[in-house]
Amino acid sequence: MDDAELRRCRQATLLSAIVALAVMIAAPILTGFRVDLLSFRAPMILAAVLALFLPYSRWRGMARLCTALECGALTLIMGLPVVVLSFAAMRLAFPLADATLIAADRAIGFDWVATVIAVDRLPMLARLLTYAYSSFGFQLLFLPMLLALLGHRARAYRFVLGYVLLCAIATAIGTFFPALGAYEGHGFDPRRLQHVDSWFGFFFLETFHALRSAPDFVLSADNTAFPSIHAGIAALCAWAAWDSRLLRAPLLVLNLLMAFSALTNGAHYLVDVLAGLAVAVVTIAAVKRLTTVRAGGQAAPAMAVPRPA
């Protein structure tokens, strides 16, 4: 792997993190809500613990571990601006888009209710989809660290950069398509289900309504929206793991299930999932563009940052 390419990947990732944190500070002020930063102390403390080992790993020349620790810490830190920006988008309170999204599903011939009922009749599949949906946070944190430890250091940085860009693009689009989700949109009673876990489709609704109407809303610790970030992250994870023979097959299967679980467990419409996958394609193209060093010449660095050992 070319040192210039690795350096470029790291620089672009760190720059995206700085921009995301700056936007995070401005977003609540501009949209009129407060953030209780102390309620997010658990991931911040974990990020700080990982960062504490960076000097030692760099001093000992443990390059893979250094990248793994840095990517892990960055992923944890980036969770906060991602959440804040998604809530800022909801705070703008654009008209609900459920009717539009349902019409789009019907236009492409997709029956969401029939799909959920069909999955509910297959207990094993329903259980697998619940596990896959719940793997979202674990993959975000551990996949870039594992990639780095396996020697795919540039891909680890690209994954973190892709995570930030994908969430930013999805949030910008989703601002104009706030939704209650497919369970509410279709008026579907989850008590009809025996095996599909519908909790994810309802847990956010109280916060969603408060955020759109309460003048003194305080964010203390996401919302079903167009496009589906779960589907986009699924595509990003599968892409990130593709160069690893060890991870390629299991991550592909897991993330195909996670993308599909956005329909049943995440209460997304099919058009949400398709849009999320499209955003992932755009994000991956952007990441490659930002981090590729052209043959015959080194691209200018994104910012001046120390080079890892």
What does the pLDDT look like over 151-205, one tens digit per residue?
Answer: 999 999 999 999 999 999 999 999 999 999 999 999 999 999 999 998 888 877 7
Measured between alpha carbons, how far is 258 from 253 in angstroms, rounded to an integer?
9
pLDDT digit string, tens, across residues 81-136: 999 999 898 899 899 999 999 999 999 999 999 999 999 999 999 999 999 999 99
Measured between alpha carbons, how far is 92 from 43 in angstroms, rounded to an integer?
27
Question: Which residues lie below 8 Å from residue 103, measured CB to CB, with a gap of 6+?
Answer: none
Q: Where is 173: in which H helix or E strand?
A: helix 153-174
Q: What's the pLDDT at 216? A: 83
Amino acid identity, position 245: R
pTM above 0.75? yes
Q: Where are the domains of the chain?
A: 3-291
Query: What Å distances lie between residue 194 and 117, 127, 181, 190, 197, CA to CA?
Result: 10, 11, 20, 9, 8
Tally of CA atoms within 13 A in the half-sphere of 66 that contains its CB: 17
Measured between alpha carbons, how far is 57 from 152 in angstroms, rounded to an integer?
17
Residue 220 has pLDDT above 80, yes or no: no
- Specify the 3-state DSSP secondary structure of 35: strand
Measured between alpha carbons, how far is 145 from 159 in angstroms, rounded to an integer?
10
Measured between alpha carbons, how far is 238 from 228 in angstroms, rounded to an integer?
16
Name which of 184-188, 289-293, 300-304 the model is least confident about: 300-304
Measured between alpha carbons, how far is 241 from 248 in angstroms, rounded to an integer?
5
Residue 225 has pLDDT above 60, yes or no: no
Measured between alpha carbons, how far is 150 from 65 in angstroms, rounded to an integer?
10
> Nearest to residue 306, comparing CAs of 72, 92, 74, 14?
14
